[in-house]
Amino acid sequence: MRRIVRTFSSGLLAIAATGLAACDTGTSQPGPPTPTNEQQTADAAATPETNAATPEASATPPAATCLFDPAKQGKVVGAQIGNIKLKQWDGSPTESNTTYELHSNCGKKKVVWMFLSAGWCGACEAYVPQVETWYQKYKDQGLEVMWIEGWDENNDPPTWEWMDAWAKEKKQTFPLLRDFDFKQVQDNLPYAGGGLPWLAVIDGNTMELVLEAESRAETETKVAEMLGVPAL
């Protein structure tokens, strides 16, 4: 696993590569450093696309049975999580306006299993086959997966082309989403930019955050319990 860390010298962007041992365990890997104000400005200038609202191609409203209560909304375990709307890879080789909303699952799914990942995170990459197995086995029993990429392997915004290549390599069928720097996630969940992978288990009826963790095994136990199925 390689991580690329950006530093600035004399006001110019320089790139320094730092080698880390490949990691295919469930151990959390440190996240990238907090960008400086200058770096955030440079990223914004170089990245015309943001998570701002655009015409949706597939967003759907929550079910009438959704029990989300805005009065109980918060960012901690036990609180109900506000809506998150992200760009979703939809199989098209060119970028589309397909979006995905967390609350589109409310009242329709029992559990939403969220993964934060990045192209430089070897532990995250190692999770994909197991998560796909869970998704295929239990998606019809109320399981939804949200796989969110925050950076590519160079710590840059994940482009549509990058997501397309990632999906074709992994051959996953669960939703692949994009949130550069996890801005929307951090607006609505307790992730504060630490290590990856970072996982959350959300109740599909109320949008309550039931569990946050850095271990897939820990969340697997909770997901199986909430679905009423055996863990794989």
Whether 127 is covered by a domain: the verdict is yes
Q: How far apart (Å, rounded) are the C-alpha atoms in residues 25 and 127?
A: 9
- How high is the pLDDT of residue 30? 57
Q: Which DSSP letter does residue 15 get? A: E
- How high is the pLDDT of residue 38? 43
Q: How far apart (Å, rounded) are the C-alpha atoms in residues 162 and 174?
A: 17
- How high is the pLDDT of residue 48? 38
Whether 232 is covered by a domain: the verdict is no
In the numeric block, which tokens belong to residue 110? 């029992």
Whether 64 is covered by a domain: the verdict is yes
Q: pTM for the complete prediction? A: 0.76
Q: How many domains does the chain have?
A: 1
Low-confidence ranges of the chain (pLDDT < 70): 1-59
pLDDT digits (tens, 9 = 90+) for 74-95: 999 999 999 999 999 999 989 9
- How high is the pLDDT of residue 32? 55
- How high is the pLDDT of residue 47? 40
Number of Cβ within 10 Å of residue 139's Cβ equals 14
Q: How far apart (Å, rounded) are the C-alpha atoms in residues 78 and 114?
A: 16
pLDDT digits (tens, 9 = 90+) for 47-56: 434 444 333 4
In the numeric block, which tokens belong to residue 217? 């095994």
Q: Domain containing 113: what range?
A: 2-227
Whether 48 is covered by a domain: the verdict is yes
Whether 58 is covered by a domain: the verdict is yes
- How high is the pLDDT of residue 31? 57
Whether 132 is covered by a domain: the verdict is yes
**Residue 33 belongs to a domain with what CATH number?**
3.40.30.10
Whether 208 is covered by a domain: the verdict is yes
In the numeric block, which tokens belong to residue 139? 């998606």
In the numeric block, which tokens belong to residue 176? 């692949």
- How high is the pLDDT of residue 210? 98
Whether 133 is covered by a domain: the verdict is yes
